[in-house]
Structure 1
Amino acid sequence: MDHAGGRLSPLAKQSSGKDASFRVAPHNIEAEQALLGAILINNDAYDRVSDFLKPEHFSEELHRRIFDIASQLIRAGKVATPVTLKTFLGDHDLGGITIPQYLARLAAEATAIINTEDYGRTVYDLAVRRDLILIGEDVVNGAYDAPIDFTPRDQIEEAERKLYAIAETGRYGGGFQRFSDALTSAVDMAAKAFERDGGLSGISTGMSDLDRMMGGLQASDLIIIAGRPGMGKTALATNIAFNIAKAYEFRTKPDGNLETVNGGIVGFFSLEMSSDQLATRMIAEQSGVPSYKIRRGDITENEFHRIAEGAREMQQIPFYIDHTGGISIAQLVARARRLKRQRGLDMLVVDYLQLLSGSKSKGDNRVQELTEITTGLKALAKELAVPVVALSQLSRQVESRDDKRPQLSDLRESGSIEQDADVVVFVYREEYYLKNKQPREGSEEFLTWQSEMERVHGKAEVIIGKQRHGPTGTVELAFEGEFTRFSNLAKDDHLPEHH
């Protein structure tokens, strides 16, 4: 680039004036000029950088305007040249050189289109460095002058959110991929399914009847488990999560990282129950001692040994609980990413959706807030490539129907749950409703009620109301209420298929 010719003077003066008291933010005026020049002489150059480069990535205000206007012209199907651009930029004196002259020189001294992407990446990387400097300054200033209600933990999460916002935008790896690459991924998935227990493409739930319908929990899926209070949503999610963590096996890859072979590492956001309540439930499920007895301490010596044995076994499993109440979707996303980075993550559970808050102001519509939450969870599932299981309450309209089996329309008022979810599962226990309808003892209705109770006792229906890559239908499971335990239902006419 010709530094002596004066054409750089208006820009170079602004950005290269060195003073011992401060450091100039990283930038590369020559790369910006070379890139803009290449676009002006051949608009095809724009396509090489358009998916990751934005006007704000340029350090010079004039370069931002040139790139922004050129982008708009090219996207509108017009030609961006020094002649078409000067109309929109006006005419200012840049210290002995006019804008039309500057554009003409940019085009005249442009390098070949071949280097465009490299220049674009240089401009983008320097913009990221400048953003990192700003975040660093914000962290320092925020720590010095923090408001009373802004705790250090809040500040850490805010800084993490900003860092991830930078990390997630403008990745070079986006865009189209060859179909042959997608085929390779699909065959790899089939090969892994062939090696895995039960031959599933996803992670096994530990309940073979459910796995048969769902093929396990698929990576990148948002799976909603919905039901009215008392149906056992949390119990089902806990059972599945525990089964996955218990089955965890890994191997060490050549690069030293661990790869999950079976089961998985589980993260559990328990927004409703505390971690010790959740642990009590899980110990009851494992030891076969009712949770109400554990809480009261009303146990025999034999039961205590069973609890101790169950607890010892549970200490070894990769199961992580976060029981902070009322967190926002942004905080949840930051913490899930942190867990994946620090410990690994193969499955995430959120109990439950309606207890999360959105990032928008409090006055906003609750339906919009839930839309933001479900969209955020689906995006998180794709980003981390793990199944995200989110629990959801259902509307009261279920209770007013004679047949209280939930259906997809019961989710409708919750915004985009049905739309964003890959799988929607309803938990329904007829026994729960029937128990509340007990007629007077000794009457004829009582005998009918009794036989009905025997038919539904200890049974639960898991209704798959939506599944993007599999059938819908109902799976019957056994449910032991006092241990909050779901398991395969032993059917008289159905023998196991495995010999």
Structure 2
Amino acid sequence: MAEILRHPGAAEAPESPTLPQNIEAEAALLGALMLDNRLVEDVQLKLRSDHFFEPLHGRIYDAILRMTDRNMVANPVTLRPLFDADEAMKEVGGPSYLAQLTGSGAAIIGARDFAQQIYDLALLRSLVSVGREMVESALDTSEDVLPLEQIERAETELYKVAEQGGGEGKVKAFAEATRLALETAEKALNSGGHLSGITTGLDSVNAKIGGMHKSDLMILAGRPGMGKTSLATNIAFSAAQRYLRDIEDGIEPAKSAGAATAFFSLEMSADQLATRVLAEQSGISSENLRMGKISQQEFRNLARAAAELQALPLYIDDTPGLTIAGLRARARRLKRQKGIGFIVIDYLQLLQGSGKGSNDNRVQEISEISRGLKQLAKELDCPVLALSQLSRAVEQREDKRPQLSDLRESGSIEQDADMVWFVFREDYYVMAKEPKRPVEGDDTKVWEAHEMWQRDVERVYGLAELIVAKQRHGATGKVRLKFDARVTKFSDLADENYLPEMHG
């Protein structure tokens, strides 16, 4: 009977040794740490107690960390009282086991190597665990089989292993958080003020928001025809260009005011977006580009602009009908393979939710998408700029400037976003209100009405506003910009009050 009782354990026994482990390295490292407490500083940044295969070793490591953290000596004598009642310690001979661990003084020399190996083996075990779960869920057909969802879940878990050394979340001590805050402030100082995040390419916008910050979700919204995609393309191009220039100037990637950029275009194809960027950079209208109405000189300008853009770290994904989970999986892959540091999505309402009941409740689906985008920004530690539609309520008002209540289909977009921007061009509405064109013989009122309209057009033509309606980091307000509709390019507006004085 005893043999039968022991049998299940015997069946499980071979499983543990098959997992990647090195108990001797763990014992040697603990011995080295107790012999020389200064080594703790070298290993504690990377190694956690759950990286140890043997749970007892993990507890001893935690105890050493706690003692040294309180500026107390951690050795077999001072640690002994903490393990008098430890059952696992009793099984290996009691607290005298601590003294055994310090038996080999030679371990001090290889302490860092032991720590690295323990960490690497913990990573491999996490990988085994993810693989086992993948196999089990793939073999389980008792519930609805959703292979793509399983793939996306597996990709999430693998990303966690790659980024964090296991599936556990990272906890930042306040000391580390303040260090990061200081680095951000230093970056703003070195950039000449204003810019602590990634550049938008527009000085006036950078001055207002301080650049685009890591883990921020920014929503750029506007009615059709306002130039949302144009502005997003301008910003994506500027961030990628600045990154390239900074790297060429020998600036470390972490200190660059630019970023390798991923542009998820759910509305336009990659070649349409590329045409826009080429139009902006070569100064040739995108319409003329598409129709081939360009001169030889313009074509040479185009070829030069195209050559300059070859090395640009701007990656376009034009897969239609992406789910939020699919987008996050692709973004993770781009982060891993291309080191992207900025993501643009055009546009939010074209993304799909997980599919569970999404047809019944569109508001719920949009909530899931906006929450997923905020999680993506935090997970990849980079800014995410998502474009969004606005409801038609704008059109019913006399003042067509958008408000937060106009965000379409869900209040959660406003709630999840760190910043909400609206792009507004008054000239778009003024141009649409053209009165009857006067012809010879028309009365004075017709002529006057048209003249007034022309004056209005002149007043607002080529002007745009970026309205910062929400900003967690600072004040709201608006930034006036110039918009060149011919090449769909936004640029800083020269303020007439600050024009240089003209001397005769």
Structure 1 residue 125: deviation in Å?
A: 7.7
Which secondary structure state, in structure 2, belongs to the residue aligned with residue 482 of structure 1?
coil
**Alignment-derived partner of residue 177 in structure 1:** 173
| Residues 1:493 and 1:128: Cα distance change in structure 2 (over 3 Å) | same
Partner of residue 418 from structure 1, selected from 414, 434, 440: 414
Which secondary structure state, in structure 1, belongs to the residue aligned with residue 218 of structure 2?
strand
When the two structures are aligned, how many residues end up with a matched partner? 409
Distance 2:408 2:152 in 1: 32
1:58-457 equivalences in 2 (<5 Å): 128=126, 131-135=129-133, 137=135, 157=152, 159-164=154-159, 174-175=170-171, 177-178=173-174, 180-196=175-191, 199-248=194-243, 249-250=245-246, 259-361=254-356, 362-411=358-407, 413-442=409-438, 443=446, 444-457=448-461
Distance 1:214 1:346 in 2: 18
**Alignment-derived partner of residue 7 in structure 2:** 13
| Residues 1:458 and 1:250: Cα distance change in structure 2 (over 3 Å) | closer
Question: Which amino acid in the other structure matches residue 240 of structure 1?
Answer: I
Distance 1:126 1:286 in 2: 47
Question: Which amino acid in the other structure matches residue 439 of structure 1?
Answer: P
Distance 2:16 2:212 in 1: 51
Question: Which amino acid in the other structure matches residue 497 of structure 2?
Answer: D
TM-score w.r.t. length of structure 2: 0.71
Distance 1:19 1:405 in 2: 69
Distance 1:165 1:355 in 2: 27
| Residues 1:352 and 1:18: Cα distance change in structure 2 (over 3 Å) | closer
Distance 2:225 2:302 in 1: 25
Structure 1 residue 298: deviation in Å?
A: 1.3
Structure 1 residue 390: deviation in Å?
A: 0.4
1:317-368 Cα shifts (integer Å, max 9, x gaps): 1110000011011111111111111111121100000000111324441111
Distance 1:340 1:126 in 2: 21
| Residues 1:105 and 1:321: Cα distance change in structure 2 (over 3 Å) | closer
Which secondary structure state, in structure 1, belongs to the residue aligned with residue 409 of structure 2?
helix
Which secondary structure state, in structure 2, belongs to the residue aligned with residue 413 of structure 1?
coil
**Alignment-derived partner of residue 80 in structure 1:** none
Q: Identity across aligned pairs (percent)? A: 47
Question: Which amino acid in the other structure matches residue 337 of structure 1?
Answer: R
Contact 2:366 2:409 in 1 (8 A): no
Which secondary structure state, in structure 2, belongs to the residue aligned with residue 202 of structure 1?
coil
Contact 1:225 1:391 in 2 (8 A): yes
Distance 2:241 2:478 in 1: 26
| Residues 1:133 and 1:217: Cα distance change in structure 2 (over 3 Å) | closer
TM-score w.r.t. length of structure 1: 0.71
Contact 1:139 1:159 in 2 (8 A): no
Which secondary structure state, in structure 2, belongs to the residue aligned with residue 394 of structure 1?
coil
Which secondary structure state, in structure 2, belongs to the residue aligned with residue 414 of structure 1?
coil
Distance 1:364 1:161 in 2: 27
Contact 2:230 2:489 in 1 (8 A): yes
Distance 1:105 1:284 in 2: 72
Which secondary structure state, in structure 2, belongs to the residue aligned with residue 267 of structure 1?
strand
Structure 1 residue 423: deviation in Å?
A: 0.5
1:49-77 Cα shifts (integer Å, max 9, x gaps): xx999xxx9xxxxxxxxxxxxxxxxxxxx
Distance 2:167 2:398 in 1: 53
* 1:484 matched to 2:482: no
Distance 1:210 1:469 in 2: 14
Distance 1:27 1:423 in 2: 45
How big is the alpha-carbon RMSD for the aligned residues of Structure 1 and Structure 2? 4.2
Contact 1:222 1:388 in 2 (8 A): yes
Which secondary structure state, in structure 2, belongs to the residue aligned with residue 375 of structure 1?
helix
Structure 1, unpaired ranges of 5+: 1-5, 29-50, 58-103, 116-120
1:199-235 Cα shifts (integer Å, max 9, x gaps): 5111121111111101111111101000001000000
**Alignment-derived partner of residue 33 in structure 1:** none
Distance 2:490 2:157 in 1: 41
Distance 1:332 1:402 in 2: 38
1:455-494 equivalences in 2 (<5 Å): 455-494=459-498
